[in-house]
Amino acid sequence: MSIGCFILGPAAVGSGAPDSFGVLDSRVKIRSPHSGQVFSPGDTIEIIIDVDQTIKMVGVAVASEIGLQETPTAVSPAHLRLPIPVTAAGPAMLHVTVTGGVEGGEDVYYTAAPLQILIRPKDVPRKIVPGNSRESIELPQTPDHKLTLSPRGVYADGTERDLSSPEVGTTYISSKPFVASVDANGNVTGHKPGVAVLTAEHRGVRGFTIVEINDRGHPLLPEDVTAELRVERGVIRDHPKPNSKLLFVQALRITNTGSIPVVGPLYVVLGKLPPDVKQWGMGGTEQIQPKDSPYADVPLPTTGLSLVPGESVTVQLEFLSPDAKSIQYELRVFRADQP
């Protein structure tokens, strides 16, 4: 006789049912827990199974994405205890199979209707980590190029949990749904060329994924992101280099004052400089209009891919000018693959 009648793969919580032997039989019912009952990571599920007396039960087993328990018993209702791993989160299916008496040397298995529970963490994660911080989709998007966000929560004790299911309270939003939209389950659809920031939020904690939508026939155009930033101009000072009487320097402090990352690469572009004032040591733009506008790279910290909310960087400008008072200009900040 074999009680263990399940084949368990490496499935994650909520990813689907394990394979099982046995035929669905209405004489086997899960009395407890009830469908949709909410548990917390680390809890133990008390499982009660009612088995009709017409079945000569010799054992019972429960299998789930979160574990497997089995016991020999001939008594109904049967009782099992299934501990929930502390790393679990999301919906999980319980599959119960009863082993019947031996007929012709073969065990007989009777399976209850599967039941879904929900594992919802009580504590708030310290941070949300996206599956990938940057993704891309080529248009037209084909069925074999599916993109689904998979945020994980990192908790104060170092535990990580998959928080991708909306059933644990995770929500998704796109900064530009006309470029890339995201549904309640984190599935992303590209619509037109551009760059969007996708936010996964769980209990007030957010994680970001940058997605770039590409179309070979329509290259990405430079995008003016000045309105998303605060630019503070420092005092114009004499250049510290010796013998640089007509050279001046000015520091710009650029801060992301918004709630989502500003995607790079970023460039400071100057306009309307007086004729006798030149931007020193900088080239002119090719893609950003008007062409040949003086520009400076914006150094992005950490990954170099974006400026996260609250983050600041400094850009130093150098000018060749008759005097400091003559240095006047308009300033814009662009996101562009090439300036």
- State the pLDDT at residue 174: 97
Q: Which domains does the chain have, with CATH numbers?
A: 6-119 (2.60.40.10), 127-220 (2.60.40.1080), 224-335 (2.60.40.290)
- State the pLDDT at residue 117: 97
Higher pLDDT, 131 or 191: 191
pLDDT band (50, 70, 90) for residue 18: very low
- State the pLDDT at residue 279: 83
The answer to whether residue 141 scores a pLDDT higher than 70 is yes
* Average pLDDT score over residue span 238-258: 87
The answer to whether residue 125 scores a pLDDT higher than 80 is yes
Distance CA 312, CA 229 (A): 10
Q: Taking the CA atoms of the chain, what radius of gyration do you get in angstroms?
A: 30
The answer to whether residue 212 scores a pLDDT higher than 90 is yes
Q: How is residue 226 annotated by DSSP?
A: G
> 166-175, 259-268, 301-310: lowest mean pLDDT where?
301-310
The answer to whether residue 10 scores a pLDDT higher than 80 is no
The answer to whether residue 268 scores a pLDDT higher than 70 is yes
Question: Across the chain, which distance is largest between two alpha carbons, in Å?
Answer: 104
Higher pLDDT, 280 or 323: 323
- State the pLDDT at residue 132: 85
Half-sphere exposure of 302 (CA within 13 A, CB side): 10
pLDDT, tens digit, 9 for 90 and up, residues 30-76: 999 999 999 999 999 999 999 999 998 999 999 999 999 999 999 99
- State the pLDDT at residue 75: 93
Q: Strand, coil or helix: what is 168? A: helix
Q: Which of 177, 180, 178 is nearest to 135 (CA)?
A: 180
Q: Is residue 169 within 8 Å of 151, Cβ to Cβ? A: no
How far out from the chain centre does Cα 198 lie? 8
User: Which amino acid is located at 113 in the chain?
Assistant: A
Please state the pTM of the whole predicted model.
0.83
Q: Which of 335, 270, 274, 338 is nearest to 305 (CA)?
A: 335
Alpha helices in 178-321 (DSSP H): none
Q: Is residue 162 within 8 Å of 170, Cβ to Cβ? A: no
Distance CA 107, CA 109 (A): 7
The answer to whether residue 260 scores a pLDDT higher than 90 is yes
* Average pLDDT score over residue span 293-302: 88
* Percent of the chain topping pLDDT 90: 72
* Percent of the chain topping pLDDT 70: 91
Distance CA 37, CA 93 (A): 11
12-21, 196-205, 301-310, range with greatest mean pLDDT: 196-205
